[in-house]
Amino acid sequence: MVKDITIDVVGNFADGKTTLVKAITSESTLRHSEEKKRGITIRLGYAHFLIYKCDSCGLFSRSKKCEACKSNASLYYRVSIIDSPGHKTLMTIMLSGATLVDGAVLVIASNQKCPQPQTQEHVEALRIMGVKNIVVAQTKIDVVGKERAKESYNEIKEFMSKNGYSDAKIIPVFAAQDVNITQLIQEIGSFDVNNSSNEETTEMVVVRSFDINKPGAEISELKGGVLGGGIKSGSLKVNDNVSVYPGVYIKNSWKPLKTKVISIQSEFGSEKSASRGLMVGVETDLDPSLARRDNLSGSLIVKGDSTPLFKNRVAIIYKEIQNKFDKPLQKNETVLLNVLASKVLGTVVSYSNNGLILNLGASSLPYFVGELAILSRKLNNVWTIAGSGNIYE
């Protein structure tokens, strides 16, 4: 049975993530005008490719003919790739995408000491989120000598071991010349993924939202707002009636949006349904202006009888990362909270015995009790992961 999986490509700014994704998929994830102009990933970028498994020797490839023995190969994985921003100031966007992934490719450049601060931050995030399938792509091997490449390899190995990923394979790659990309595909194909879900409630995490209509389009030709993201549990089908939380803010309170699934699109084409592992765009009958310019990013689409909470105060069983900040959390301190794809500012109301209460003000985030929350604090004027915990109220 063909599986859908989503992998995150993470790593420090300018270590070669987007170039690597293009080598794997022949696609560029720089699709936003500002990203193309600056040459960096600002929003979450997406690409896709297929992995086949050889019917004879069992090796993985990107084509229907085995690249090793030339036998026929069967489709094994449909892979959605998230290219997460590597710049430290864009860390919270990376966290939004990491909630949906089944594995990760960690990109580390040979021409810099490992770990760079942002590399450490990304690995911390993956560990907190419980991502176990990781492979390291050692880039920039073409711009360093043999000795530095070996030294870099050993630095990476030590770093991964210290962070609980001692079994992660390290693949030296030269993406521009397709060197060792096949070996990288072998590791991704070997990821142990179980995306089956029997849950009655369907949850889709929205990380992007769009108005796809062209200026001047006739009213009869207008399409509803499109919500992009991935399924967290359950499955979504065309014609399903769903609710979007928290919705819109009207008269000092949040009002969920009721809508219908008109169509589902993935990078592989039209889909009749979608379940965990596939990044999709869901066309709805919502007013397209509501979805314009990511206005609904961070939302939660729910189908079923369960209703998420969306309050302006949350309580978390919190565990702080040790020895990262000079001072513990302070009352009235402003922090940044990531839950699923939502990110909101909050103020510390109280913190004692691992119990943390935050006031979110007029902001709101949709969640179910038990959801993982990641908290960031300002360090050198940049939001930095400080700890995590589960929401209990």
Is the pLDDT reported for residue 256 higher than 80? yes
Q: What is the pTM of this model?
A: 0.87
What's the half-sphere exposure (Cβ side, CA atoms, 13 Å) at 89?
4
The CATH code that applies to domain 3-189 is: 3.40.50.300
**Mean pLDDT, the chain, whole residue set:** 87
| Superfamily name with CATH number, domain 313-391 | Translation factors (2.40.30.10)
For the ranges 200-209, 240-249, 315-324, the lowest mean pLDDT is seen at: 200-209
Phi/psi-derived region of residue 267, left when phi > 0, alpha when psi is between -120 and 50, beta in every other case: alpha
Spatial neighbors of 30 by CB under 8 A, at least 6 apart, are 18, 36, 39, 40, 41, 45
Q: Superfamily assignment of 202-303 in CATH?
A: Translation factors (2.40.30.10)
Range(s) within the chain of domains with CATH label 2.40.30.10 = 202-303, 313-391
Angle, helices 91-98 vs 117-128, to 10°: value is 30
Q: What is the pLDDT of residues 258-301, one digit of tens each?
A: 999 999 998 888 999 999 888 899 999 999 999 999 999 989 99
Q: Do residues 211 and 291 touch, judged by C-beta distance below 8 A?
A: yes
The boundaries of every CATH 3.40.50.300 domain in the chain are 3-189
16-20 long-range contacts (CB < 8 A, ≥24 apart) are 16/107, 16/109, 16/139, 16/140, 16/175, 17/41, 17/83, 17/84, 17/86, 17/107, 18/45, 18/83, 19/139, 19/175, 19/176, 20/105, 20/107, 20/137, 20/139, 20/173, 20/175
What is the per-residue pLDDT across 187-236, written as a single tens digit (0 to 9) for each? Answer: 999 999 987 666 678 999 998 898 989 888 888 889 999 999 889 889 99
Residue 93 has pLDDT above 70, yes or no: no
Residue 35's pLDDT is 31
Structure tokens at 82: 């998230």
